[in-house]
């Protein structure tokens, strides 16, 4: 490709979608966005897995993206989750995100229908017609299908708007395979693997933990970017208990509980997701206290 692609890097957040009494709590979302920017977060990712996109109506989905883009107001990139297992739906969501002012889109592997590698290439090619830079989201544990490294490389070669991949396979070899196959930007999709992924060519993270500790996740990235690997390792190990703690139950259950514990938003979920089980609450609250956060309630 001869034209310059959009470059995404650094500490980004997969932001939650707060609810109150069954509705999206836009006041709380606005506070969360400001909290992220004040904490040094370098990109906001609404309507992803952590944003409970599967339970948002199409109208809510569009409103959350538009609200986020308006609130961010160009201060950092907004990467809107617009993926779907229906290509037509994904294209429509992406067109709206572009019109609403998003800077890029996050495209999850089409889930449940288990397309072939060729099918995922054509799905992505159709999404590119919406005119928004695409971050591939490779998360087979959620989708039942995995993008092969060779497929990612082919997409990067053939589809100019493919600019990055959020690597969430949980397999360290995958980041190495992708980095050796092409020059696509690799973003960690697992907080606990950010350091090792960046050690083999990754350029940042789309973080869950950053919802409550944006400055600390940014600090990890700053050490990595400066190639201060001893300090990066120290920061990684400091955060590791919380990296794991945010997955004691299915994401985003623990991170929403954590946000409620420190008073940033409620922990209301939409079925089939339910709030954090009582047996995990004391342990999570202690992890937050150990990180220096003010726990207001368990």
Q: Is residue 261 one of the residues assigned to a domain? A: no
Quote the number of domains for the chain.
1
Q: What is the pLDDT along the chain (298 residues), one digit of tens a residue?
A: 335 899 999 999 999 999 999 999 999 999 999 999 999 999 999 999 999 999 999 999 999 999 999 999 999 999 999 999 999 999 999 999 999 999 999 999 999 999 999 999 999 999 999 999 999 999 999 999 999 999 999 999 999 999 999 999 999 999 999 999 999 999 999 999 999 999 999 999 999 999 999 999 999 999 999 999 999 999 999 999 999 999 999 999 999 999 999 999 999 999 999 999 999 999 999 999 999 999 998 8
The pTM for the full model equals 0.96
Over the stretch 204-240, which tens digit does the pLDDT of each residue have?
Answer: 999 999 999 999 999 999 999 999 999 999 999 999 9
Peptide bond into 252 cis (omega under 30): yes
| Closest C-alpha to 50, from 264, 294, 273 | 273
Q: Which are the contacts of 33, defined by CB distance < 8 A and separation ≥ 6?
A: 15, 44, 68, 71, 72
Q: Is residue 264 one of the residues assigned to a domain? A: no
What residue ranges in 77-198 does DSSP mark as E strands?
A: 79-81, 104-108, 134-138, 162-167, 185-188
Q: Is residue 276 one of the residues assigned to a domain? A: no
Domain that holds residue 95: 10-228
- Evaluate the CA torsion angle 105, 170, 110, 122 in order and state its sign: positive
Q: Is residue 238 one of the residues assigned to a domain? A: no
Q: Is residue 194 one of the residues assigned to a domain? A: yes
Q: Which are the contacts of 257, defined by CB distance < 8 A and separation ≥ 6?
A: 267, 275, 276, 280, 281, 284
**pLDDT at site 297:** 80
Q: Which are the contacts of 215, defined by CB distance < 8 A and separation ≥ 6?
A: 39, 40
Annotated catalytic residues are 137, 166
Query: Residue 105 maps to which CATH number?
Result: 3.20.20.70
Q: Is residue 296 one of the residues assigned to a domain? A: no
Would strands 23-24 and 19-20 be described as parallel, antiparallel, or unpaired? antiparallel
The tally of CA atoms less than 13 A away on the side-chain side of residue 234 is 7
Q: Is residue 268 one of the residues assigned to a domain? A: no
Break the chain down into helix, strand, coil percent, rounded to 5: 50, 15, 40
Over the stretch 87-124, which tens digit does the pLDDT of each residue have?
Answer: 999 999 999 999 999 999 999 999 999 999 999 999 99
Would strands 104-108 and 19-20 be described as parallel, antiparallel, or unpaired? unpaired
Q: Is residue 247 one of the residues assigned to a domain? A: no
């Amino acid at each position: 490709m001869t034209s310059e692609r959009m470059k995404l890097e650094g500490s980004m957040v997969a932001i939650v979608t707060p609810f109150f009494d069954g509705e999206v709590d836009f006041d709380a979302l606005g506070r969360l966005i400001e909290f992220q920017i004040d904490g040094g977060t370098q990109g906001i990712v609404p309507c992803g897995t952590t944003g409970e996109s599967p339970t948002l109506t199409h109208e809510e989905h569009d409103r959350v993206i538009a609200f986020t883009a308006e609130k961010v107001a160009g201060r950092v990139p907004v990467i809107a989750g617009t993926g779907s297992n229906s290509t037509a739906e994904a294209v429509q969501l992406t067109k709206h995100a572009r019109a609403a002012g998003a800077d890029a889109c996050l495209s999850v592997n089409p889930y449940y229908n288990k397309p072939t590698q060729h099918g995922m290439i054509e799905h992505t090619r159709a999404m590119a017609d919406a005119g928004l830079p695409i971050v591939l989201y490779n998360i087979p544990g959620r989708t039942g299908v995995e993008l092969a490294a060779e497929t990612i490389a082919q997409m990067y070669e053939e589809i100019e708007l493919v600019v990055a991949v959020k690597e969430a396979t949980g397999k360290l070899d995958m980041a190495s395979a992708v980095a050796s196959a092409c020059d696509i930007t690799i973003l960690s999709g697992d907080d606990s693997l950010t350091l090792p992924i960046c050690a083999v060519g990754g350029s940042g993270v789309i973080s869950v933990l950053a919802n409550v500790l944006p400055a600390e996740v940014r600090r990890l990235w700053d050490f990595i970017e400066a190639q201060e690997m001893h300090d990066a390792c120290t920061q990684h190990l400091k955060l590791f208990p919380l990296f794991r703690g945010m997955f004691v139950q299915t994401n985003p259950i623990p991170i929403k509980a954590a946000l409620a514990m420190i008073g940033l938003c409620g922990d209301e979920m939409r079925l089939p997701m339910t709030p954090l089980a009582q047996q995990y609450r004391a342990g999570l609250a202690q992890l937050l206290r150990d990180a220096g956060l003010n726990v207001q309630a368990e």
